[in-house]
Homo-oligomer: A and B are copies of this chain.
Amino acid sequence: MYIGIDLGGTNVAIGCVDEKGNILAKKSFPTESKRGYKAIVKEMADTIHDVMSDIGLSAEDIKAIGIGSPGTVDRENGVVVFAGNLDMVKVPMADELGKYFNVPINMENDANAAAYGEYIVCGHDADSFLLVTLGTGVGGGIILNKKIYRGFNNAGAEVGHITVMMDGEQCTCGKKGCYECYASVTALKKQTEDMIKKCPETMMSEWVKEHGHISGRTAFECADKGDKAAIEVRDNYLKYVAEGITSLMNIFQPEIIVIGGGISKEGDTLLNPVKEFCYKNDFNKFMPKTKIQIAKLFNDAGIVGAAMAAKM
């Protein structure tokens, strides 16, 4: 049995994962990062015992533990180098957890772990596979030769930070015009808000009053009902999503690209226009095309990927 830990800014999710990537039990608890990493790791250890006992097993049945952490990770030393949303700088996470369990502990960047999780369940053993996650930001990961691609310094695969619009929107990373500034759900919400300001008569104004807030669903739902302003927001957003995916296709020509994140639950409404744009605009006109599909694991991808990367 393998343990996968998805260490997030809000929650820590922990699962028991079998050899094939199935989650047999899982639990989560609030991260409460202000209490410091030792208290968090203590609760991780307790929760690992809990999930193992839920399926009638004990700590002796654990073969390896994988942790997916946001930010920059030093894999060799099992250290969270910097994770802004966890208030963590140079935290020796693996050593600390190693005080509770005498098994190999592997650390990954959380986006890389999620990509590997999706690869396990929908990668069909491909030699080249990309995950693009459309969420608060745009993250993702790259699987080449069946392994996580990390770059020479473990800081690679920041697919959300390719420039798609020089001198465009300011990104939190410091650069301007990043893919994330156009294709994240945060960006979609801003695009929705801007359109509501420009066209207050849009059905989206009603939607927001009814729901009390703007969400990634606002434009999609109102577009479904035929609202012109919403259709414009949705279609522009889908084009933004497709622009970045086309760039990644032109660079990698991967066998499979998978789109994840909450918004990908829109399914074919999202997938079909993106595919149409990508297949029309990608550089490759003569060879077989990359498969583009929707992710399968969503929030569980981090647990599965962290566990399976620890198995590697």
A residues bordering B, Cβ < 8 Å? Answer: 72, 81-82, 126-128, 142, 144-145, 149-159, 161-166, 173-175, 182, 239-240, 243-244, 246-248, 250-255, 280-290
Interface of A is mostly: loop
Cβ-defined contact, A157 with B287, below 8 A: no
Task: Determine the chain B residues whose CB is within 8 A of the CB of A166 once the complex forms.
Answer: 164-165, 182, 239-240, 243
Cβ-defined contact, B254 with A251, below 8 A: no
Task: Determine the chain B residues whose CB is within 8 A of the CB of A240 once the complex forms.
Answer: 166
**Nearest neighbor of A147 in chain B, beta-carbon distance:** B145
Closest 10 CB pairs of A and B: A151-B253, A156-B253, A153-B287, A162-B247, A152-B255, A155-B284, A161-B250, A158-B250, A175-B281, A155-B287
Task: Determine the chain B residues whose CB is within 8 A of the CB of A81 once the complex forms.
Answer: 286-287
Cβ-defined contact, A155 with B246, below 8 A: no
- Which listed residue (B126, B145, B165) contacts A145, Cβ 8 A? B145
Q: How far is the CA of A157 from the CA of B287 in the complex (A)?
A: 14
Q: How far is the CA of A201 from the CA of B161 in the complex (A)?
A: 40
Q: How far is the CA of A128 from the CA of B153 in the complex (A)?
A: 10
Q: How far is the CA of A287 from the CA of B153 in the complex (A)?
A: 6
Cβ-defined contact, B72 with A159, below 8 A: no
**Nearest neighbor of A144 in chain B, beta-carbon distance:** B144
Q: How far is the CA of A175 from the CA of B284 in the complex (A)?
A: 11
